[in-house]
Structure formats: structure tokens, C-alpha cells
Amino acid sequence: MEFQIPDFYPAAAELFVAGMALLVLLVVSFVRRGATVAYWLTQVTVVGMAAVALLSGRDVGFTFGQMYIDDPLGDFLKLWVALSVLTSLFYGRRYLIDRGLESAEYYLISMFAMLGSMILISAGSLLTVYLGLEMLSLSSYALVAINRDSTQSTEAGMKYFVLGALASGLLLYGISMVYGATQTLNIIDVARALFEQQANRPVLMFGLVFVVAGVGFKMGAVPFHMWLPDVYQGAPTAVTLLIASAPKLAAFAMAFRLLAVGFWDFAQQWQMMLILLAIGSLVIGNLGAIAQTNIKRMLAFSTIGHMGFILLGLASGVVGGERYLADNAYSAALFYVVTYVLTTLASFGMVLLMSRAGFEADQISDFKGLNKRNSWWAAMMSIVMFSMAGIPFFVGFFSKFLVLQFVVATDHVWLAVLAVMMSLIGAFYYLRVVKLMYFDEPLDESPIVAGVGVRLVLSANVLSIAALGLFPNLLMYFCSLVIHGSF
Amino acid sequence: MTGVPYLSLSIWIPIFGGLLTLASGSDRNAGIARVIALITAIAGLAVTLPLFAHFDVASAAMQFQEDAAWIPYMRINYSLGVDGISMPFVLLNSFITLIVIVAGWEVIQTKVAQYMAAFLIMSGLLNGIFSALDGVLFYVFFEASLIPLYLIIGIWGGANRVYAALKFFLYTLLGSLLMLVAFIYLFQHSGGSFSILDWHDLKLSESSQAWIFWAFLLSFAVKVPMWPVHTWLPDAHVEAPTGGSVVLAAIALKLGAYGFLRFSLPIVPDAAQYFAPLMITLSLIAVIYIGFVALVQTDMKKLVAYSSISHMGFVTLGFFMFNQLGVEGALVQMISHGFVSGAMFLCIGVLYDRMHSRQIADYGGVVNRMPKFAALFMLFAMANAGLPATSGFVGEFMVILGAVKFNFWIGFAAAITLIMGAAYTLWMYKRVVFGAVGNSHVAELEDINKREFAFLAVLAVCVLVMGLYPLPITEVMHASVTDLLQHVAAGKL
């Protein structure tokens, strides 16, 4: 076989990030105040990555022997990853400095986590999926445990690592079965083998189950959710924000590429599995959130509930063998994921804003009487909470509504009823936060200190939730466009 | 038809005015917030007047229609329009908002800007509910209106306000979420349209009509509220500040009844007819049983709250007899109840501001100290009891006539409410107002000031005019109601 130089162009964004990461590694070894330099270089890298992703990709392109895909979905998600990493690092910086956690390593590892997300998003082969997943996961384990002196933080890191390793093992096991049945690792070839019915179906079904388990773990869907509340609570809030946002985009891409592309001919089967995961996530996520007193933990359970909705969207593609709804249903799930990430950034951004040196503000009761302390931030937090509860005119309503539309279209009216009932339960604990802010007396009267930049960006972030709630059309259209272009 | 988008103005002027009020700042310069709120409320009312003036009473069609694509991706349109059924409520709502702003002028001293803004924003949202012709637009306004009311009850309410606010929110959300599923179902079966008017003409099978009817019923019954899902109302009313109670009673309760007319009856007419006996039974229970419950209340606000449930039972009773008198009577009753219950809560608010008690037992002989107030309160109490020449009488009489036409015994049972209403309202009035001065606190009461006199007098004029000459209102709704009843009678099977 003749050696060919691969076409690097489709992977330009990833190569850029990898190069910059190595450069930063080198630079911070030689400068003083390495953390500050690393912070700014990382932010430049993130912005640069967005620019490269935007400029480099137009149509669908493959490289590295089809192990790598550059398509509109990938570019779109990478832009969102850039946005979320950019804001996460920005919101979290003061928190880290206050606690003496800011270091060059933190930003480097964040950059590698981002790279992992990007590889996962653009994976064209099962091996690339695994590569991206591990890169993302290993970086996340390290980030969660970055506060070495905190038992909570290291415990969370340990839990995350053990369960994550187990999930990776499951996924790898599934991949090996798929390979055994189809003799290929390339996702499109897997789909072709399924379509031509050459493969051994029972083995593939086994493989599918493990693949779904791997996807479920990454998303945090019940029953693979055990790590999520502990990790969200135990990690420093800045890290929680980082692992709650961008990786969800990658997990969506992973689910889409593996299930909707690779296992397309098994859609009926994996839809049933996803529906079960979705029901579990909706029920456990929303019921579990009620009992929480720690806001990070509450948001963790609410994440599980939101994942239930995303899974519902993914599970509503194929009706009785008919597939005409599929790309619209996946667009709905994509819309849900990106708006969810936007809302999550704002919610943890608020938690970060409320915290200060020596004070975590991670109890729900820390929000008591916020309206009396500062009515602007109380209003901002209520917008976030109402949006998560799915109350119009905020974007959370439209993302739920769009997904429900396809759930009903697949004739699963009962599932839609279950989902709305669980949203009702969800409304209870979101409203409780609003209640504390508006109806209760503040516990401490200290003003909220934050830099002008953080205040502006966080306000813009929240107001974008409101603006998208009034005018969601453009984003919906984009989501549908990228799914059409990549499916 | 003029080209001015009156409906959009009636929605967005209060909302933007409310945001402006909110931005106007802290309690240090509360005066600015009050003035902006007042100007907004007046402007909001002014833009609804042309709706009445230019309304074509001969037509049953939607008027002042506006249509624009809002979310083309989901085929959701920003389409507005009013017919004879909804137009009076837009006016009523804008009018009551003005009253509430004036009524809260001096009473509210903390977070003035937020208080005024909440009412203005809610006023805009409520106008949106009454004029939306797109299902999702309706739903969006319907849900969003929960937020300001939740905050109003929770922030400015009484001792048990948190419980009441949460109960109110979750009860109403429960109903409306099921309605959302029904909307999506209708969307799928109408070939992808959220237009309410398209749904009116959509053929539906018997079983799907039944399911949709129940989804709507849960949503609207909670809002009306009908027995047995009424329990949130007394809590919400009692704990809400005066303005909140007024808006709740005068406007928010009408949403459920309006929903029946706009959704249940025309979209699932056969199911509505099939379940009519059930609805009539529930309505009669509300009218009679809740009437007795009202009789034994010791808290004035609770008493009026229960009387509201009883009166709203009359409204649903009128709807589900499917005759002209019944439906029109019910609509008149809704508007009259808007004035009367609003005025009753304002009267109680006047007393509460002075005494900080809602207990009937704490009063007695108020007339000795507050003669002007007692006279006006008397008028509203009489109207609440359905005395002829007040607006309360017209609606109740029409519904009873309609009921007798439908079935004598139902009419007979409904007529009991006239006695019950008189009993609980006038007994309460007697205990509070008449007799010797009850205690030293009452002895120190001061009569109403000019501002209070002004808003009560305006309401008194409305109550009397509507009682003596209801024609302008019945005339407006006549064509639309006739059309609706023909539509229901034709069925969809």
C-alpha cells in the first residue's frame, strides 16, 4: 500500500487547538505568571478555533481514511463548544483565583478537554469516537480533582474516574462486537453492512446495547447517571460549569453519529432503549431534584431531566418504519441541546457570581432574598429558572415544545403526557428558587461583587435566553439546516 | 377597518410600559414609577376604546385581525383578532388594570416599581390571551401570565403567601400542560396548523374529541375554577394583595370560561354535548354547595372568593346549556362579575388598609365612621347578590331563564343562588357595616379619600349602567354567540 499524505484541511480546527495546546505548554514553562498567560492564550485559542472551524468547513468532507468527518453539524457544534468553553473559563476565572486554584495546568487541561469534545463531534469511526471520548473523559477527571486538598473534590474525581472507566469499557466492548459482526470500524460502513444485512444481527444487537450504555453514560441518562450529582457537587463550581456544558454537545454528536448514522437500520430497536432511558431520566431527574438543598446538586438532577427530553427527541425519528420525521426530530434534539447549554452556562454562571472568596454559595438557601440585595440578578436568575421550567416566553419552553411535537407525531401521546407531568414536577423546584429570591428575607446583606465584564457577559447570556424565547425561529432553522446537511 | 394594530398596541404598550416602570428604579423615587405606570395604564385603555367604537356588531367573524409569521419553522403565527366574545374582555382588562394601578397608588410602599410593572405586564399578557388566534400564541400568553401573578401574590401577599402562590402556580400549570399536548395533537391532525380558526373546522373522531375535551377541561376548569379543583382560589385570594385579588377575580378567572367558549365548545362540540350533563352537575355543585361554604366564612376575602366560585359556576352552567340566553347571560355575568368582584375586593382592601384585618368579627358599625364608603359598599354588595338594576342581576336572570328553558329543575336549582348570594353577601355586609361601633379600632376609622372614592365611584357607575342598560354589551356578543351555537349544534361527526 502506498503512503498518502492525508488531507489535513477538514481537521484544521482540531490541529490548531492541538498545536496551540503544545505551544501554551511550552510558553508557560518559561514565563512568570504562567496562569494569566495561559488563560489569555487559551481564550485566544478558543476564539481562533471557532474562526478556523467556521472558515474551514463548508460541505461534508472526510479525512484520515474516513475516520474523520467535517460536516455542518460538526462545525455548528464546534462553534457552540467554543462559545461555551469561552464563557465557562471567563465566568470561572475569579472563582479559581479566589481559591488559589488558578494554574496554567487548569487551562491546558481545559483545552485538551475541548479538543476531546471536538474529536468526538467529528468522529467518523468507532475508534475516533473512543479516542475523543477518552481524551475528554481523562481531562475531565483531572479537572474535577484539581482541588487536590479538598476531599470532596478528589472523591468526586475518583467516582467519576471509576464509573467513567467502566462506561468506557462497556463502550469498547460494544465496539468490539460491532467490529466482529461487520469487520469494520467506520461508522458509515457499519451502516452499510447493516443495510445490506450481511452482519450477524444478534451480535450487533449486543453491541448496540453496550454502545447505548456508553452514550447514556456520557449524557448522564438514568440508569447511568450515578456519577452526575456527586461530580457536579464535588467539583469546584468553575469545573462543574465546564463539564456541564461543552461535553453535552459532544455527547449529542456521539449519540447522533453512532445511533442515527451507524445503527440507522436498528432505529426501531434503539429508539425503544432510548425511550426507556428517557422515561427513567425524566422521572429520577425531576423527582431527585426536589429533595436537594445544594443548588449544584439540584442542577445536576435537573440536567438528568433535561437529558430525558433530548433522548425523547432522538427517540422520535422513526415511526412504524417511516423515516420522514427523522431529521426534524433530531433537529429538535439539537435545538434542545444547544439551548440547554446556553441555559446551563447562565445557571452555573449565577452560582459563580454569588460565590466569593471563602464562600461557595452552593446552597439553594444562599439565594434567599436576592431580590432585596440586587433585583437585577434576581430577575436574571428567575429568567434562567423559568426557562428551565419551560415557561414561555423563554427559550426552554420552545425547546420542550419542539421535542414534544415529535413525540406526539410518533403517536406516543402518553409519553408526551408523562414528559409534561415531569416538567410540572420540575417547575416546583425551579419555582422554589424564585420563591427564595423574591419572597424570603436575605441571610446576608453583602452586595454582589463582580467585574464589569462578568456582569455584562452574564447579563447578555441570560437575556439571550429571553431573546431566543421571543424569536427562536432562526436558531431552529439553523439546527434543521445542519442536521439536513449532515444526515 | 383601520390599519392601526389596536390589538398589538393593547398588548405591547402595557408590557413595554411595565418594563420601563421596572427600569425606573428603586423605592427612593417611587413617584416616577407610579406616574409612568399610570400613563401606561391610561394609554393601554385608550388604545382599546377604538375596538369598541369600530366594532361591527353584525359580524360574527374575527375583527381587527393581524397576521404575521412568528416562528415559521414551527408554523406558529402571530395572529390576533377579536370577536364579540373576546372583545369586551380586552376592554374590561385594560380598565381594571387602570383601577388597580390607582388603587395601589399609596397603599404599596415597598418595591413600588416592581408592583406596578407586574400588573402592567400581566395586563398586556392577558390582552394577548383574549386576542390570540394562534394556539401556541394563546398558550404562550396563558402560561406567561402565571409569572407576574405568582410574584404579586408571593411578594406583596399576606402571611401564608408562599404556599398560596406556589399552589396557584402549580395547579394552573398542571392544567395548561395537558392542553399543550392537546394542541400538538390538533396540530398533527389538522395537517400542520396552529390556527384556532382552522381547528374550529377540523373534523375529529368521537374518541379523540373526548380526550381533547378532557385535556381542555382540566386546564380551563382549574382556571375557572370549577368544583372540585377550586381549592387554590381561596388561598390565592386571601393571601394576595388587594390589586392581585382584583385582577385575579375580575380577569384571571375569566380565562377559563373564555377557554371553554374559544376551545372546548367549537373544537370538540360533540364531546361538549356528550359531557354537558357532567358539566352542568359540576356547575350546580359549585353554585349551591360553594354558596353554603361562603355563608360560613369568617374572613371577608375568603367569603368573596367563594362567592366568585359560585358565580363562575353560573357561567359554566350557562355555557353548557347551549342556548342563546344561557351563553349570553353567562358572558354578561362574566363581565359583571369582573366589575362587582373587583369592587368587592377593593372595598375589603379599603378596610384592610385601615385595620389590617380581614376578619368579619373585627368590624361592626363601620357605617358610623365611613358613611360614603358604606353607601358604595352597599351597592356592590347588592350587585353581588344579584339585585335588579345592578349588573349582577342581568346575567344571572338570563342564565336562569336559559336554564328553565333547558330543564325546569336545573333552572330551579340555579335560582337558589339568588337566595344564597343575598344571604352570604348581605349578612356579611350587615355584620361589618351596620350596628353599633364594634370596637375602638373601628371608632378611629376615617372615611375614604378622594382617590378611593374615585375608583369606587367609577366602578359603581359601571355596575349601574350595565344593570340598567345592558344592550350595548349583549349587542356586541350576539352575532358571535349565534354563530358559535350553530357551529356546536352542527357537530363534527
Q: A417 and B174 in contact by Cβ < 8 A?
A: no
Q: Which three cell numbers stand for residue A374?
A: 440586587
Cis? peptide before A392, omega within 30° of 0: no
Helix, strand, coil content of chain A in percent (nearest 5): 75, 5, 20
Q: In terms of DSSP bridges, do strands A68-70 and A61-63 run parallel, antiparallel, or are they unpaired?
A: antiparallel
Indicate if the pLDDT at residue B246 is higher than 60.
Answer: yes
**Of all residues in chain B, what percent carry a pLDDT higher than 70?**
99
Q: How many helices (H) and strands (E) does chain B have?
A: 24, 2
Find, in chain B, the residue whose alpha carbon is nearest to that of A479. Answer: B73
Q: Is B291 exposed, middle or buried (0-12, 13-18, 19+ CB in 10 A)?
A: buried
Q: Cβ(A415)–Cβ(A275) under 8 Å?
A: yes
Q: Cβ(B341)–Cβ(B306) under 8 Å?
A: no
Size of interface A-B (CB pairs under 8 A): 91
For residue B169, give the nearest of A431, A476, A477 by CB distance: A431
Indicate if the pLDDT at residue A176 is higher than 70.
Answer: yes
For residue B154, give the nearest of A401, A402, A438 by CB distance: A438
- What's the DSSP call for residue A235? S
Average pLDDT over residues B123-129: 90
Interface of B with A in 138-167 (CB under 8 A): 139-141, 143-144, 146-147, 150-151, 154-155, 161-162, 165-166
B174–chain A Cβ distance below 8 A for any pair: yes
Residues of A in Cβ contact (< 8 Å) with B148: none
Q: B136 and A431 in contact by Cβ < 8 A?
A: no
Residues of B in Cβ contact (< 8 Å) with A409: 188
Indicate if the pLDDT at residue A336 is higher than 90.
Answer: yes
Q: What is the pLDDT of residues A189-236, one digit of tens each?
A: 888 888 887 777 888 888 899 999 998 998 888 888 888 999 999 899
pLDDT: is B177 or A3 the higher one? B177
Q: B184 and A438 in contact by Cβ < 8 A?
A: no
Q: B146 and A391 in contact by Cβ < 8 A?
A: yes
Which helix H or strand E contains B219, and what residues bound it?
helix B206-223
Looking at CA atoms only, how far is residue B123 from chain A in angstroms? 15
A459–chain B Cβ distance below 8 A for any pair: no
Q: A434 and B150 in contact by Cβ < 8 A?
A: yes
B244–chain A Cβ distance below 8 A for any pair: no
Indicate if the pLDDT at residue B2 is higher than 60.
Answer: no
| Amino acid at residue number B94 | S
ipTM value of the model? 0.86
Dihedral pair phi/psi, residue B194, rounded to 5°: -100, 5
Q: A476 and B114 in contact by Cβ < 8 A?
A: no
In 10 A of CB A130, how many CB atoms? Answer: 19
Looking at CA atoms only, how far is residue A425 from chain B in angstroms? 9
Q: Is A70 helix (H, G, I), strand (E, B) or coil?
A: strand
Dihedral pair phi/psi, residue A315, rounded to 5°: -90, 5
Instruction: Collect all residues with Cβ–Cβ distance below 8 Å to B197 and sequence separation of at least 6.
Output: B62, B133
Q: Is B224 helix (H, G, I), strand (E, B) or coil?
A: coil
| Amino acid at residue number A88 | S
Q: Cβ(B235)–Cβ(B192) under 8 Å?
A: no
Q: Is A61 helix (H, G, I), strand (E, B) or coil?
A: strand
**Residue in B223, B229, B221 with CA at minimum distance from that of residue B252:** B223
Find, in chain B, the residue whose alpha carbon is nearest to that of A478. Answer: B73
> How many residues appear in chain A?
487
- What's the DSSP call for residue B493? -
The Cα–Cα gap between A236 and A336 comes to 26
Which helix H or strand E contains B385, and what residues bound it?
helix B371-385
Q: Is B82 helix (H, G, I), strand (E, B) or coil?
A: strand
Q: A397 and B150 in contact by Cβ < 8 A?
A: no
| H runs (alpha helix) in A122-150 | 126-144
Indicate if the pLDDT at residue A56 is higher than 90.
Answer: no
Q: How confident is the model at residue B1 (pLDDT cuts 50, 70, 90)?
A: very low
A322–chain B Cβ distance below 8 A for any pair: no
Q: What is the pLDDT of residues A282-291, one digit of tens each?
A: 999 999 898 8
- pLDDT, residue B27, reads 66
Q: Is A203 helix (H, G, I), strand (E, B) or coil?
A: helix
Looking at CA atoms only, how far is residue A482 from chain B in angstroms? 14
Full-model pTM: 0.90
Q: How far is CA B326 from CA A163, B40, B273, B316, B321, in A?
A: 66, 36, 14, 9, 6
The Cα–Cα gap between A93 and B249 comes to 50
Interface of B with A in 184-243 (CB under 8 A): 184-185, 187-188
Q: Which three cell numbers stand for residue B399?
A: 342564565
Indicate if the pLDDT at residue A55 is higher than 80.
Answer: yes
Residues of B in Cβ contact (< 8 Å) with A402: 74
- pLDDT, residue A371, reads 83
**Residue in A167, A303, A172 with CA at minimum distance from that of residue A233:** A303
Q: Cβ(B134)–Cβ(B196) under 8 Å?
A: yes
**Of all residues in chain A, what percent carry a pLDDT higher than 70?**
98
A402–chain B Cβ distance below 8 A for any pair: yes
Cis? peptide before B472, omega within 30° of 0: no
Q: Cβ(A305)–Cβ(A289) under 8 Å?
A: yes
Average pLDDT over residues A86-106: 89
Q: Cβ(A400)–Cβ(A423) under 8 Å?
A: yes
**Residue in A118, A122, A484 with CA at minimum distance from that of residue A331:** A484
Find, in chain A, the residue whose alpha carbon is nearest to that of B173. Answer: A424
Dihedral pair phi/psi, residue B94, rounded to 5°: -65, -35
Of the residues A438, A441, A482, the best mutation for testing chain B's interface (the one with the most B CB atoms within 10 Å of its CB) is A438
Q: Cβ(A354)–Cβ(A361) under 8 Å?
A: yes
The Cα–Cα gap between A201 and B425 comes to 76
Q: B140 and A392 in contact by Cβ < 8 A?
A: yes
In 10 A of CB B341, how many CB atoms? Answer: 27
- pLDDT, residue B191, reads 81
Helix, strand, coil content of chain B in percent (nearest 5): 75, 5, 20
Q: Which three cell numbers stand for residue B441?
A: 379600632
A434–chain B Cβ distance below 8 A for any pair: yes
- pLDDT, residue A115, reads 93
Average pLDDT over residues B58-69: 82
Q: How confident is the model at residue B433 (pLDDT cuts 50, 70, 90)?
A: confident
Q: A405 and B74 in contact by Cβ < 8 A?
A: yes
Average pLDDT over residues B70-81: 85
Average pLDDT over residues B90-95: 88
What integer best gives the mean pLDDT of chain A? 87
Average pLDDT over residues A48-67: 80
Find, in chain A, the residue whose alpha carbon is nearest to that of B211. Answer: A413
Q: How far is CA A160 from CA A140, A243, B197, in A?
A: 9, 11, 54
A466–chain B Cβ distance below 8 A for any pair: no
Q: How confident is the model at residue A320 (pLDDT cuts 50, 70, 90)?
A: low
- What's the DSSP call for residue B491? -
A477–chain B Cβ distance below 8 A for any pair: yes
Cβ contacts of A1-4, under 8 Å, gap ≥ 24: none
Q: B177 and A421 in contact by Cβ < 8 A?
A: yes
Average pLDDT over residues B437-457: 80
Q: Which three cell numbers stand for residue B39?
A: 400613563
Q: How confident is the model at residue A58 (pLDDT cuts 50, 70, 90)?
A: low
Q: B185 and A431 in contact by Cβ < 8 A?
A: no
Dihedral pair phi/psi, residue A412, rounded to 5°: -100, 60
Of the residues B161, B170, B173, B185, the best mutation for testing chain A's interface (the one with the most A CB atoms within 10 Å of its CB) is B173
For residue A480, give the nearest of B73, B136, B141 by CB distance: B73
| Amino acid at residue number B255 | L
* Distance from the first to the final alpha carbon of chain B: 36
The Cα–Cα gap between A5 and A298 comes to 50
Q: What is the pLDDT of residues A419-453, one digit of tens each?
A: 988 988 888 889 888 888 888 888 877 777 778 88
Instruction: Collect all residues with Cβ–Cβ distance below 8 Å to B256 and sequence separation of at least 6.
Output: B219, B220, B221, B222, B223, B224, B225, B226, B312
**Residue in B126, B332, B160, B151 with CA at minimum distance from that of residue B234:** B160
**Residue in A79, A72, A91 with CA at minimum distance from that of residue A49:** A79
Residues of A in Cβ contact (< 8 Å) with B158: none
For residue A420, give the nearest of B72, B140, B177 by CB distance: B177
Q: A439 and B162 in contact by Cβ < 8 A?
A: yes
The Cα–Cα gap between B113 and B27 comes to 7
Cis? peptide before B397, omega within 30° of 0: no
Q: Cβ(A342)–Cβ(A399) under 8 Å?
A: no
Q: Which three cell numbers stand for residue A57?
A: 468547513
DSSP string, B156-212: H--TTHHHHHHHHHHHHHHHHHHHHHHHHHHHHHTTS--BHHHHHT----HHHHHHH
- pLDDT, residue A34, reads 84
Indicate if the pLDDT at residue A173 is higher than 90.
Answer: yes
Find, in chain A, the residue whose alpha carbon is nearest to that of B151. Answer: A438
Q: How confident is the model at residue A252 (pLDDT cuts 50, 70, 90)?
A: very high
In 10 A of CB B425, how many CB atoms? Answer: 26
Average pLDDT over residues A51-63: 78
B320–chain A Cβ distance below 8 A for any pair: no
Q: Is B70 helix (H, G, I), strand (E, B) or coil?
A: strand
Looking at CA atoms only, how far is residue B107 from chain A in angstroms? 19
The Cα–Cα gap between B313 and B331 comes to 12
For residue A424, give the nearest of B111, B161, B170 by CB distance: B170
The Cα–Cα gap between B21 and B43 comes to 14
Q: Which three cell numbers stand for residue A392?
A: 414561555
Q: Is B81 helix (H, G, I), strand (E, B) or coil?
A: strand
- Interaxial angle between packed helices B87-103 and B30-53, expressed in degrees from 0 to 180 and rounded to the nearest 10: 160
Instruction: Collect all residues with Cβ–Cβ distance below 8 Å to A305 and sequence separation of at least 6.
Output: A281, A282, A285, A286, A289, A422, A426
- pLDDT, residue B352, reads 85
Find, in chain A, the residue whose alpha carbon is nearest to that of B186. Answer: A408
For residue A438, give the nearest of B146, B151, B184 by CB distance: B151
- pLDDT, residue B31, reads 77
In which residue are the cell numbers 461583587 written? A449
The Cα–Cα gap between A349 and A344 comes to 8
What integer best gives the mean pLDDT of chain B? 84
